[in-house]
Amino acid sequence: MVHSLLDTAARLPGDESEAEILWEQFATLRFALAQHLLDEEDLLEPIFARSDGTGAPLLVRMNVEHARQRATLSLLPSHRPRDAAALRTFAEIAAGMGRALLAEMDEEEEQLLSFWALGPSAKPHSGPGTP
């Protein structure tokens, strides 16, 4: 989904016929990300909130990241831009959002996989968003 959005954004504003496609991809991704945050919290909060406290740093980090991501989502455009300048800006915003999501997903997977592989003794590495 993210890669398709990036591909479409790269074709704009040169091919303005892609504007509606990009807007639909953007709206779909925004909805999917909001739903993903809820699903992730439902799945991971009980696991991170272990009685021995070993998951607490990851729970804090997840909550901080999710708050930041929700704040970003709230700032995103809610209407498809119509003129060429606004469309160019929108394509840049959409592409930036896509690249940031891919980077965060890679980092999150690395952290979670190391946490699961190392078990309760795992310590989250510091990085963006780590308290």
The 3 state secondary structure assigned to 101-112 is HHHHHHHHHHHH
Predicted confidence at residue 41, as pLDDT, reads: 94
pLDDT band of 130, cuts 50, 70, 90:
very low
List of residues 6+ apart from 129 with CB closer than 8 A: 61, 64, 65, 68
Higher-confidence position of 126 and 4: 4
Reference 91, options 35, 16, 34, 1; nearest CA is 16
Q: Domain-by-domain residue ranges, the chain?
A: 2-121
Residue 115: the pLDDT is: 64
d(CA 16, CA 11): 8
Arithmetic mean of pLDDT over the chain:
81
In the three-class reduction of DSSP (H, G, I as helix; E, B as strand; rest coil), residue 121 is classed as helix
What per-residue confidence (pLDDT) applies to 36? 92
